[in-house]
A and B are shown apart, each in its own frame.
Chain A
Amino acid sequence: MSTETTEEAHREGHEPDATHDATHDHPSDGKYIQIALILAALTAAEVATFYVEDSLGSLLVPILLSMMVVKFFIVAAWFMHLRFDSNLFTRLFLSGLLLATGVYLIFLLTFEFF
């Protein structure tokens, strides 16, 4: 959270700051709204591909998967605060994510999905 918003809260007579760690380095409300607008634009672009999928041809799947990955990591990094928190949280989450991706890719390969 920005210093500006913290000072504003103090002026408004809210509770005193007793949790330094909880407020450390987190983005301002405005930044969160900017992130949400980027996510909304990406979602709109994803939906737009539905109407032009014939013209995109074989590019459709890579484009959609790329946008999905970007949205996923934006939410994880900014809204879930992995960008600001301890690397251990990132490693724990990525461990589960990569294990799941690996296991189920092998599963799909085994059953000749691709």
Chain B
Amino acid sequence: MSVTAETHDPDAPTAAIDRAPHSEHGPADGHATSTGLSNEKLGMWVFLGSECLLFGGLISTFLLLRSREVEDMRGPEVADLYDIPFTSVSSFVLLMSSLTMVLALAAIQRGDQQRLRAWLVTTALLGSTFVAGQVYEFTAFLREGLGFTTNLQSSAFFVLTGFHGVHVTIGIVMLMSLVVMSARGSLTRQRAETVEIAGLYWHFVDVVWIIIFTVVYLIR
């Protein structure tokens, strides 16, 4: 909730309110808030905290189902079909997209619209490459006879990595929206926080993959 100095109770402590527009970490548009921080950014961090629970549930369910020995299990085991060199390249691509994302933020903070768009498009392309790699991996698994309903661990695997892929895809849509906004001139330096918030989401998707790559692919 945004609280302005004018509407605030005069008897209540006002130091944080008065400081907010000038706070070094305050909202970029200069509106005072009750915390002295940007509500949008605060909201994104709360959302990312809740996302930890979503992905934590998916990862632990996969680990549990993978560890279970099932008699007469249908189809191959997921771990037998991993292509680690291929997934390593995909992981590296996603990791580097975090670099290009942060460079896009640095560009808009300098007011450099051209570089902002270039880095945003590069980030989206790297993200698309990652998603394409995931689609290829899923297709390869299907060719080997491992589908979504083949066995419990395959269901858990496809749900986990599929959910992550959907998150990356949503991130790509966000990035391309920012490119369009920048091209139309509505993403000014004063609105750098919009890019920062989209960046937080993108980096979160990256850190989730850091965990998935280690826990699901490398530790078997």
A and B physically associate = yes
> Does B84 reach chain A (CB closer than 8 Å)?
yes
Whether the Cβ atoms of A1 and B109 lie closer than 8 Å is: yes
Q: Contacts A9-B110, A43-B91, A68-B215 given: A97-B49 contact, CB under 8 Å?
A: yes
Whether the Cβ atoms of B49 and A92 lie closer than 8 Å is: yes
Whether the Cβ atoms of B214 and A46 lie closer than 8 Å is: yes
Cβ-neighbour of B101 out of A19, A79, A95, A100 (below 8 A): A79
A101 to B56, CA, bound (A): 7
A89 to B193, CA, bound (A): 15
Chain A residues close to B by CB (< 8 Å) = 1, 5-6, 8-9, 12, 14-26, 28-29, 32-33, 35-36, 39-40, 43, 46-47, 49-50, 60-61, 64-65, 67-68, 71-72, 75-76, 78-81, 84-86, 88-89, 92-93, 95-97, 99-101, 103-104, 107-108, 111, 113
Whether the Cβ atoms of B192 and A88 lie closer than 8 Å is: no
Whether the Cβ atoms of A43 and B56 lie closer than 8 Å is: no
Whether the Cβ atoms of A43 and B60 lie closer than 8 Å is: no
> Does B59 reach chain A (CB closer than 8 Å)?
yes
Whether the Cβ atoms of B211 and A68 lie closer than 8 Å is: yes
Whether the Cβ atoms of A108 and B49 lie closer than 8 Å is: no
Least CB distance from B161 to A in Å reads: 17
Q: Contacts A86-B37, A88-B35 given: A15-B60 contact, CB under 8 Å?
A: no
Whether the Cβ atoms of B214 and A68 lie closer than 8 Å is: yes
Chain B residues close to A by CB (< 8 Å) = 23-28, 35, 37, 41-42, 45-46, 48-53, 55-57, 59-60, 63-64, 67, 84-85, 88, 91-92, 95-96, 98-99, 101-103, 105-106, 109-112, 188-190, 192-193, 196, 199-200, 203-204, 206-207, 210-211, 213-215, 218-219
Contacts of A28 in B (CB 8 A): 106
Least CB distance from A12 to B in Å reads: 8
A3 to B62, CA, bound (A): 47
User: Sorted from nearest, which 6 A-B pairs have the closest CB atoms?
Assistant: A96-B49, A100-B56, A15-B111, A14-B111, A9-B110, A104-B60
Cβ-neighbour of B95 out of A23, A39, A111 (below 8 A): A39
Whether the Cβ atoms of A49 and B48 lie closer than 8 Å is: no
Q: Contacts A24-B24, A47-B88 given: A40-B95 contact, CB under 8 Å?
A: yes
Cβ-neighbour of A43 out of B45, B85, B92 (below 8 A): B92
A96 to B204, CA, bound (A): 13
